[in-house]
Amino acid sequence: MKLDEQKIGFLGAGKMASAIIRGLIKSGISKDNICAGEKYEPASETARKDFGIFVTGDNAEIVKRSDVLILAVKPKDIAAALSTAGSLENKLFISIAAGVTTASLEEMAGKNARVVRVMPNICATVLESATGICPGKNASKEDIDLVKAVFSTVGVAMEIGEELLDAVTGLSGSGPAYIFPVIEALADGGVYEGLDRRTAQILAAQTVIGAAKMVIESGDHPGELKDMVCSPAGTTIVGIQTLEDYKIRAAFMNAVIASAEKSKEIGKKK
C-alpha cells in the first residue's frame, strides 16, 4: 500500500493531528486525500484555513471518505467518536491515545479491526518526533509499513512491542519536557557569564540539536562522543565532573522510570 494512494481521515484536529497533517502535506500527500472530523469550531476552522482540507463535525462522513483513520481524540473520547462513525469495516485504525491498549481499541472498533497504536511526541509539531509504533493482532506487515510511512513524515518511527510502550512514553513521549529545562539551564549559565538571553538560548538549543545529530548519524556510543570533547585537564571534563557531582545521569534515568511507571498506572485505570 502506497501512502500517497490512501485516503487518510482524522477523528480530532488538535495539535498532534495538525502536526501529522502538516507532515503528510509537506511530504507530498495531496490535501484532497486528507480529511478531519472535528466538532470544536475553532479547531476545525484552523484546520480548514491552515491546510485547505475537508473538515466536518460528522465523524461518519470522515469514515466514509477514508481508508485509514487516525484517532486523535482524548483517550476518554475514543469510544464516543467511534460510536458515531458509522460502518468501520475494512479500515486501518491508528491511535495516538496514551494508555489505550490495542485490545481495547479492537473491542471498540470491532474484533477483526486492524489497529496500530502509536506514541509520538510533541516534537512532531516541528517534524522531529520520536515515535513508537505497536501493531494489534490483526494488523498486517503492509499496515505497519504504512503507519511507519505516515509517522516518518513527522520524524523517526520505530516498531515497539506493546509491553514496552510505557517505556517509550517515559523516554521519548515525555522526553522533550526533560530537555527544555536543560536548554534553559544551559542558557542561564551563558547569561551568568555575560551572554545576552537570546544569544545564549540559540547557542544552547543548537548545541542540543548538534549533539543529538552526532549520536544518530555517527552510530557511536554517547560516551565515546563525550570523550572526543573532553581534553585532558581541559574545560569540558571539569564541566562533566560538575554534572556528575549533581548526579545528572541518575536524575534523567529516574525521570524516565517514574514517567513509565505513571503510564503503566494510567493504563490500568482504563
- Show me where the domains of the chain are located: 3-166, 175-268
- The answer to whether 74 is annotated as binding is yes
Alpha helix locations (H) across 30-73? Answer: 41-51, 59-65
Name, in order, each residue with C-beta under 8 angstroms of 16's C-beta and a sequence gap of 6 or more. Answer: 72, 96, 120, 122, 124, 125
Q: Which three cell numbers stand for residue 189?
A: 549559565
Query: Would you say the CATH fold of 175-268 matches that of 3-166?
Result: no
pLDDT of 267 reads 74
pTM surpassing 0.85?
yes
Q: For 71-89, how does the pLDDT look when each residue is reduced to its tens digit (9 = 90+)?
A: 999 988 998 888 888 778 8
- The answer to whether 52 is annotated as binding is no
- The answer to whether 11 is annotated as binding is yes
- The answer to whether 214 is annotated as binding is no
- The answer to whether 16 is annotated as binding is yes
What are the helix and strand counts (H, E) for the chain? 12, 8
Q: For 11-64, how does the pLDDT look when each residue is reduced to its tens digit (9 = 90+)?
A: 999 999 999 999 999 999 999 999 999 988 999 999 999 999 999 999 999 999
- The answer to whether 12 is annotated as binding is yes
Q: Which CATH superfamily is domain 3-166 in?
A: NAD(P)-binding Rossmann-like Domain (3.40.50.720)
Q: Which CATH number fits domain 175-268: 3.30.70.1050, 1.10.10.10, 1.20.1250.20, 1.10.3730.10?
A: 1.10.3730.10
CA dihedral 215, 216, 220, 222 (to 10 degrees): 30
pLDDT of 89 reads 84
Q: For 149-191, how does the pLDDT look when each residue is reduced to its tens digit (9 = 90+)?
A: 999 999 999 999 999 999 999 999 999 999 999 999 999 999 9
Q: Which three cell numbers stand for residue 168?
A: 517509550
